Amino acid sequence: MPANAAKKPETKRAYKRLLLKLSGESLMGDKHYGIDPATVNYMAKEIQKVFSLGVDVAVVIGGGNIFRGVEASLQGMERASADYMGMLATVINALALQNALENLGLQTRVQSAIEMRELAESYIRRRAMRHLEKGRIVIFAAGTGNPYFTTDTAAALRAMEISADIICKGTKVDGVYTADPNKDPKAKKYNVISHIDVIKQNLKVMDSTAITLCMDNNLPIVVFDIKKPGGLVQLVQGKKVGTLVKS
């Protein structure tokens, strides 16, 4: 067995398989655009810590640090073309994260919903499942491969396809609030909230399509601060971290 595939299944963990959803903006660090290598390396180390607990890890990553299809469409670009450009941006981010993870000695595979054989495998569900079983970290790129769908929806879809126990959404805040805590000092944090209440209150956890998919399939989501070191590990160990969204 390769050294990087050696896990510690005896370690206490609340989840056996998780899907980590990262926004493209989370890779920027303190920059206003692009990829900050130090931030990507930090993300990779956080993933490594969880992997070492014996957890299967898959990642869906956005592309907003490079290109946002919705914003481009509002400025006059045809929506489908803008969304495809955004999907290509997610592939760039996926390759950056793959490089950082492999520098730590981990085995990875990037699977793209848009075929680009020179860069990544095409997404095949059974192949992704096999990679996870073999101790590889799978990074899903290019969203769903279809315009008009966000990477949030891609995360919900992929999580269900690989039978993930939970979606862990890393954000800049430590959970779900009644309002934006950076703008409203009176905003209150939810420790637990239901999928339907997220939709009813129009809370910006994930887009409504993703939330509905999770609700219909009883898939929980944890929203947590990805910038807090060790937060993902605590989450996997069953400790109260961020906000739990469940049926």
Instruction: Please give the Cα distance from 102 to 22 (Å, whole number).
Output: 18
What are the tens digits of pLDDT across the range 179-231?
888 888 899 999 999 999 999 999 989 999 999 999 999 999 999 999 999 99
In order of start, what are the domains of the chain with their CATH numbers? Answer: 3-246 (3.40.1160.10)
- Helix orientation angle between 208-216 and 151-161, rounded to the nearest 10 degrees: 20
**Paired tokens of 25:** 């903006």
Q: What is the mean pLDDT of the chain?
A: 93
Checking if the pLDDT of 2 tops 70, the result is no
pTM, to two decimals: 0.92
Report whether 223 contacts 175 (CB < 8 A): yes
Contact predicate 111/141, CB 8 Å: yes
